[in-house]
Structure 1
Amino acid sequence: MAGLVLGGRNAERVALTAVGAGLVIAFEIARALLASAEPVVYLLGGWAPPLGVALRADGLSVVMMLAVGVVIAGVAVYARGDFGTPIGTRETRASLTFWSLLMAAWGALNLVFVSGDVFTLYVALELLTFAGVPLVCLDGRGETLRAALRYLVFALLGSMVYLLGVFLLYGAYGTLDIAMLGERVAASPLTWSAAALMTTGLLAKTALFPLHLWLPPAHAGAPAAASAVLSALVIKGSWFLVVRLWLDVFPGIVTWSAAQWLAGLGVAAIVTGNLVALKQVRLKLLIAYSTVAQIGYLFLMFPLAAGARAAHMDDTAAVTGGMLQATSHATAKAAMFMAAGLIYTTLGHDRVAELRGAASTLPMTILAFALAGASLIGLPPSGGFLAKWLLTSAAFSTAQWWWALAMLIGGLLTSIYVFIVVMHALAPADVGWTPKRAVPGYQQGVVLALALCSFLLGAAALLPPDLMRVGRPHAGWVAP
């Protein structure tokens, strides 16, 4: 709000100040969570549920808040080169819009992570949608406007379906509080209908195959900084809601076959997204279809967690693997989209077959792209490797080896297009070629920093506390 009132140049300063403050708050919440080993709870207005609304931060919330805060900080520094308004330059409408929407998207994501009831989650989803859609069409081109409208249609339809499920839950159980619903829900046709409606709506907003048609044009057409926010962060909001619903609200009524079907859609996304990515001639479209594929990995945790709980085993490997996949993808994909933006600025295009000379002009950027790609592939010691290792371990321990095979095939397909891009970029430039425009060194530096975060995230295995389990319920998953 301060940025809107103070104007474009000051909106940038407000946003950068808020980034620092937000990171401090996220780390303080993490410290408080570890110190108490209980969820950090705040009652709005002092009214306890079911009359009031509670904000709760458990281990899953804190991990996502920290990851999103780091990516937002990187995007904010990078965006100064595209949307900054230094002294002596004229303010633009795009600058004010971008910084305002960046803060709005971050606030909506944080609300998603700490919401304690399913209706507040709906409000957070709508805030996230109306912050994300304008980011697609900041340049005002007809192509991006069409992509934004398609995104809006899918998002609103998904929200309507989700809200229908919320109505059913409230009519049946008289509360919307997640903790209370987790204790009261019982297997019945009404509850199954609510779970199906809410999950379907969220899948449309997450762009899981085959509801992914809106994602590639929206993410590929947006400015690089906006694409990084959309692909790395915004889609994680609706996915996190699926995690919250399946693990906290419906742990006792979600069937084994439903979890298998959900992961089956994830495998279809992995294969289809990677194969289509291999055919792309533009780098940003390739990265966008890679996002379609990477979303699929996020849904493999559900049958693995279901299998572990059905066998009365610990589901930590499956849940931690899924969350690590989300965080490593966020940092890697933000780095890749911003790297693509720098390549476009330098070469004047992003045609994959004509990237020669990019490595000699943008060495840090190409290194960042390679490191981020290594994390998506799952090479050690990256966060992607640790995530896939945990998911694979859960797959074999629960006798679901086929999900491990799907991850192996996906990694091989990802390695092909990452190798193609890097090899074209390493090719020497034509004689006499000069860059179209020089890019600031700090933009290359922040892209490399995010890529390193993703590549070195595998070191999280050395941390003593299992942050993701703190404040989490330990009820078993009953597979009907």
Structure 2
Amino acid sequence: MSALLVLALTVPLLGLVPLLLAGPRVGERAALAVLAIGAGLCVAVGVAVALSGRALQYFVAGLAPPLGIGLRADGFSAAMMGMSALVLALTAFYAMRAPGAGAPRMPPAFFMLLLALASALNLAFLAQDLFTLYVALELLTFAAVPLVCLDGKPGQLRAAMTYLMFALFGSVLYLLGVVLVYGQFGTLDFARLSAALALAPPGWSFGAALALMSAGLMAKAALFPLHLWLPPAHAGAPPAASAVLSAVVIKAPLFLLVRLWADLAPVPMAQAAAPVLAICGAGAILVCGVVALAQVRLKLLIAYSTAAQIGYLGLMFPLAAGADAYWSALAWTGGTLHLVSHAFSKAAMFMAAGLIAEVFGHDRLAGLKGAARVAPLSIAAFGIGGLSLLGLPPSGGFTAKVMLLTSALQQGAWWIGVVVLAGGLLAGGYVLRLLVLALQRPEDGTLPAARECGWRAGIALALAFGAVALGFLPLAPLGFLSIGRPIAWEGLAP
């Protein structure tokens, strides 16, 4: 079953052949088929991990580190792989155009970039040494940046360049941290580093290395205050590209940030850094939430919402590093669930926004009165996806936020509970802005003659319902996420 890890990396790249050799229509259908197969492989990895009760591991060329490169899928990485593969496959389906559809076809380059993203994301979720993770981040960057400027408009090009500068700045910081780690320990493999850290306390250089790598990952993930590139990049990109950028691309550096502080850093060091990450998360929720309320364009509103919502992961760190094992595990599960539910809901909202803009010819909020009459499925997808952002039952966002809130109250971190509640109120404000307008009647009584594309709106609606379905998971630490983790959480009771 370990061969599934290699297939998850290589199969997406096979879809590049028909895109390069065949016509656009044949190529995009082949790309969709390959992405669907890749999603099946990622689900198979999750099933294999669940059935075996242990992590899957594979050494490239049969050579263990330090001579070879290790790939490893535990419960956490399998969950992230499955989420990203499903979003990418559905986004490719959404981006296809039926014959005679009014909207322009996406260029073949879009599907090439989706395939490259699928492989790069899986490498980021599976790699087990810091340098291979650097390679994965660079592949992810150079596949994601062109998505911002597919149409070649001046505003898109400026946004893409800003994104590239932030990403390269993050790469430099991350690589500097990698150099410091290698200089101190002579290895970059996670298992060997963990063994070395268990034998002797790390010096200041290891703390500096983690700080540099964390700052680089924060720049790539657009975690406050390094979020300035995200709103123009996501708001200016085509809707399908925005869905991918917001839902899965920024999740890889967030995933690695968790790996560094939950799996690698010694507990005292993780506890010292956790308040800093929490403050950044609280700043994201509050500042970006307020800015989202002030937006006049729908896609910019959703983009600032993305910057706000990823702040909940920052709140997880001090809770997950707490002294009580059960409540720490509950917070860690809530943060992971938030990453997954946010991906589904945000992809649905960007897709819905794109369809609404196609109907009206713009995405200015003031001109979207009556949108529910001409784009009912898109408005429903936006509203249902917004349930998760608000944290209303029975959505996955509700379950995730209840886990974080409960853990915060049980561990005496009342201020984190206040931020979680305030973030829900802010999310309610900017989600309801569109819904209230969409249900109103236009002043002049006229509505666009165009109507939404029903099957594409159905894809957005399916993703939104996916975010809701996650809310039916139990309000307790999940055993699946603990498989292969350094600390087993099964059997713990409050």
Counterpart for residue 205 of structure 1: 220
Identify the match of residue 482 of structure 2 among 448, 454, 469.
469
Structure 2 residue corresponding to 1:6, chosen from 12, 15, 22 = 22
Residues 430 and 87 from structure 1, CA distance in 2 versus in 1: closer, same or farther, beyond 3 angstroms?
closer
Q: In structure 2, do the counterparts of structure 1 residues 316 and 465 end up closer, same or farther at CA, with 3 Å as the change threshold?
A: closer
Match of 1:417 among 430, 438, 442: 430
Deviation at 1:261, TM superposition (A): 1.1
The ranges of structure 1 where at least 4 consecutive aligned residues each deviate by more than 4 angstroms after the TM superposition are 86-89, 311-314, 462-465
The one of 318, 335, 338 aligned to 1:303: 318
- In structure 1, C-alpha distance between the alignment counterparts of 2:91 and 2:172, rounded to whole Å: 31
What letter is aligned with 1:416? Answer: G
Distance change >3 Å, CA 243–CA 7, structure 1 → 2 = farther
Structure-2 residue corresponding to 1:22: 38
Does the 8 A contact of 1:179 with 1:248 survive in 2? no
1:110 counterpart = 2:122: yes
Alpha-carbon distance, 1:71 to partner: 1.2
CA deviations 1:224-275 (Å, max 9, x no partner) are: 0000000111110111010111111114352433201111011011011110
Using CA pairs under 8 Å that are at least 6 residues apart, name the structure with larger relative contact order, 1 or 2. 1
Q: Is the 8 A contact 2:145 2:160 kept in 1?
A: yes
Hey, what does 1:396 align to over in structure 2?
Answer: 409
Cα 1:88/1:265, change in 2 over 3 Å: closer
Choose from 297, 307, 315 the match for 1:292.
307
Could you tell me whether the CA contact under 8 Å between 1:287 and 1:336 is conserved in 2? Answer: yes
Where does residue 159 of structure 1 map in the other structure? 171
How many Å separate the matches in 1 of 2:300 and 2:117? Answer: 23
Cα deviations by residue, 1:262-298 (Å, 9 ceiling, x for unpaired): 1101101101111001111100001111111001111
Write out aligned runs for 1:441-460 (5 A): 441-460=454-473
Deviations 1:166-188 (CA, angstroms, capped at 9, x unpaired): 11111111111112212213331
Separation of aligned partners in 1, 2:85 and 2:439: 33
Mapped to 2, the partners of 1:361 and 1:98 lie a distance apart of: 28
Correspondence for 2:388: 375
Contact 2:378 2:460 in 1 (8 A): yes
In the other structure, the counterpart of 2:296 is 281
2:8 maps to none
Q: What is the CA–CA distance in structure 1 between the aligned matches of 2:384 and 2:79, rounded to whole Å?
A: 22
Alpha carbons 1:11, 1:100 under 8 Å: kept? no
Q: 1:255 to 1:323 in 2, by over 3 A?
A: closer
Equivalent residues in 2 for 1:13-412 (5 A)? Answer: 13-81=29-97, 95-185=107-197, 186-307=201-322, 310-311=323-324, 313=326, 315-412=328-425
419-428 or 222-231: which moved more? 419-428
Q: Report deviation, 1:87.
A: 10
Instruction: Decide whether the 8 Å contact of 1:355 with 1:425 is kept in 2.
Output: yes
Matched pairs, number? 469
SS at match of 1:42: strand
Q: What TM-score, normalized to structure 1?
A: 0.94
Secondary structure of 1:371's aligned partner: helix
Structure 1 SS opposite 2:269: coil
* Residue aligned with 1:300, SS: helix
Q: How far apart, CA to CA, are the structure 2 residues paired with 1:73 and 1:323? A: 21
Cα distance, 1:31 vs structure 2: 1.5
SS in 2 for 1:56: strand
Offset, 1:108: 0.9
Cα RMSD, aligned residues only: 2.1
Deviates more, 1:298-307 or 1:133-142: 298-307
CA positional deviation for 1:195: 0.5
Counterpart secondary structure, 2:152: coil
Shift of 1:313: 4.9
Provide the rounded CA distance (Å) in 1 between the counterparts of 2:277 and 2:101: 54
Q: How far, CA to CA, are the matches of 1:402 and 1:354 in structure 2?
A: 39
Q: Which runs of 5+ in 2 are unaligned?
A: 1-15, 490-494
Deviation at 1:457, TM superposition (A): 1.1
How far apart are 1:335 and its partner, in Å? 0.6
- Structure 1: distance between partners of 2:219 and 2:119: 22
Cα distance change, pair 312–366 in 1 and its aligned pair in 2 (3 A): closer
Instruction: Give the letter aligned to residue 129 of structure 1.
Output: T
* 8 Å CA contact retained: 1:209, 1:266: yes
Q: How far did residue 210 of structure 1 move?
A: 1.1
The answer (yes or no) to whether the contact 2:375–2:451 under 8 Å persists in 1 is: no
Supply the distance in 1 between the matched residues of 2:380 and 2:388 (Cα, whole angstroms). Answer: 13
Task: Tell me, in whole angstroms, the C-alpha distance in 2 between the residues paired with 1:465 and 1:39.
Answer: 15
Alpha-carbon contact 2:281-2:314 (below 8 Å) kept: yes
- With the length of structure 2 as denominator, give the TM-score of the two structures: 0.91
CA deviation vs aligned residue, 1:8-66 (integer Å, no higher than 9, x gap): 22320221111221121112111211121111011111111121101000000011111
Q: Which moved more, 1:17-26 or 1:260-269?
A: 17-26
Cα deviation, residue 469, structure 1: 0.7
CA distance in 2, matches of 1:131, 1:34: 31
